[in-house]
Structure 1
Amino acid sequence: MKIGLYFGSFNPIHTGHLIIANYVAYNSDLDKVWLVVSPQNPLKPAGSLLNEHNRFHLVELAIKDEPKLRASNIEFSLPRPSFTIDTLTYLTEKFPTQEFTIIMGSDSFQNITRWRNYQQIIKNYPIYVYLRPGHEVTETHGAKVEIMKAPMLDISSTDIRKWIQEGKSIRYLVPDNVVAYIAENNYYK
């Protein structure tokens, strides 16, 4: 089975994330896409993060009726901060019959040489790169790269958190059940 790993803080998950995950799931040779909720991104400040279990639950709510998508909390039990190579090594050992692929935006791919043990990542794992405007892929660094032209929405979790704090509606930016759950639990206030 081929599994695509789409890593993110998902703070909160929004329609832009879901479109990418669903597009890659149905327009590639992958059997499933796992949305891997990162407890802490080594390249992002931790202060603005909602608790990882709450973020994981929001991802589960958002994708509950989609058979090709799955929420993964695999990084919660790994050392922090989470480095992609450590997660990949762990998953490859734990699920030796699965084949793992990384899904990332072209903006992140441009920074891959800053990632811990990136040479090991590009040698052992294919990377499906979805194009982001203004971030063309001109150098593959020897990675097995598949370019995906997923529909892009210019939505950011940062903006969503700001609008929640300002009391503005986030309807249509995140799935309705996620909007309701965020409101019920006073997240991001």
Structure 2
Amino acid sequence: MNIGLFSGSFNPIHIGHLALANYLCEYEGLDEVWFMVSPHNPLKSEEQLMDDEFRLELVKLAIEGYSKFRASDFEFRLPRPSYTVNTLDELRRSYPEYTFHLIIGSDNWALFPRWYESERILAENRILVYPRPGYPVDAASLPENVKLTSSPVFEISSTFIREALNAGKNICYFLHPAVYARLKEHAAYLGG
């Protein structure tokens, strides 16, 4: 079974994340996409993150009803800060029957050489790169195990979502309805 690993802060999860993962399942040969909620990205400051369990709850609300999506707290049990290479090693040990495909944006692909043990990640794993605005990728220059997807470009960010919510904007169409309702219920995440 081909599993796409969509690791991220999901701070919060939004329709861009969901639409991309849906596309990858339906058009890029993935049987499932696992939303790997990261407790702490080494490239981001920890104080910007909503509570780990709350972000996981929002992911579960967002993916309910689509059988090809899974919410995962796998990285919650790994040492922090969370490094992708460690997550991939542990996943292969825990699920040897699956073929994992790391899903990253072209913005992260541009930074990939800065990732911890990036050369080993590249040597040992399959990687799906999705397009992000302002970060073109030459598909012909990619290693054999790295594929540039043909997915649509989504120009939505979690930072935009948080700023809009904090400003009191009604951005209900940028979030799954259950996620939007939960965020509105939880005023601490709306700056109030």
If the TM-score is normalised by the length of the shorter chain, which range does it land in?
Answer: over 0.9
Paired position in structure 2 for 1:35? 35
Quote the Cα distance in structure 2 between the aligned partners of 1:156 and 1:28.
Answer: 23
Paired position in structure 1 for 2:190? 188
Quote the Cα distance in structure 2 between the aligned partners of 1:143 and 1:172.
Answer: 38
Question: Which structure 2 residue ranges, 5 or more long, are not aligned?
Answer: none
Q: Give the superposition deviation at 1:78.
A: 0.4
- Structure-to-structure mapping, 1:15-164, within 5 angstroms: 15-138=15-138, 139-140=141-142, 142=143, 144-164=145-165
The AA in structure 1 aligned to 2:37 is V
Question: Do the aligned partners of 1:123 and 1:143 also contact (CA within 8 Å) in 2?
Answer: no
CA displacement 1:49-72 (0-9 Å, x = unmatched): 100110011001001111111111
Question: Which structure 1 residue ranges, 5 or more long, are not aligned?
Answer: none
CA displacement 1:71-120 (0-9 Å, x = unmatched): 11100010001000000000000111111110111110111111111111
Quote the Cα distance in structure 1 between the aligned partners of 2:109 and 2:84.
Answer: 13
Question: Do the aligned partners of 1:3 and 1:31 also contact (CA within 8 Å) in 2?
Answer: yes
Question: Do the aligned partners of 1:122 and 1:143 also contact (CA within 8 Å) in 2?
Answer: no
Identity %: 44
CA displacement 1:133-189 (0-9 Å, x = unmatched): 22122343x361111121222111111111111111121010111110111122232
Aligned residues: 188
Secondary structure in structure 1 of the residue aligned to 2:47: coil
Let me know the Cα RMSD of the aligned residues.
Answer: 1.2
Higher alpha-carbon deviation: 144-153 or 115-124: 144-153
Quote the Cα distance in structure 1 between the aligned partners of 2:73 and 2:144.
Answer: 26
Against the structure 1 CA distance between its residues 96 and 152, is the aligned structure 2 distance closer, same or farther, given a 3 Å change threshold?
same
Question: Do the aligned partners of 1:62 and 1:177 also contact (CA within 8 Å) in 2?
Answer: yes
Runs of 4+ in 1 over 4 A off after TM superposition: none
Normalising to structure 2: TM-score of the pair?
0.94
Secondary structure in structure 2 of the residue aligned to 1:172: helix
Question: Do the aligned partners of 1:39 and 1:76 also contact (CA within 8 Å) in 2?
Answer: yes
The AA in structure 1 aligned to 2:79 is P
Secondary structure in structure 1 of the residue aligned to 2:174: coil
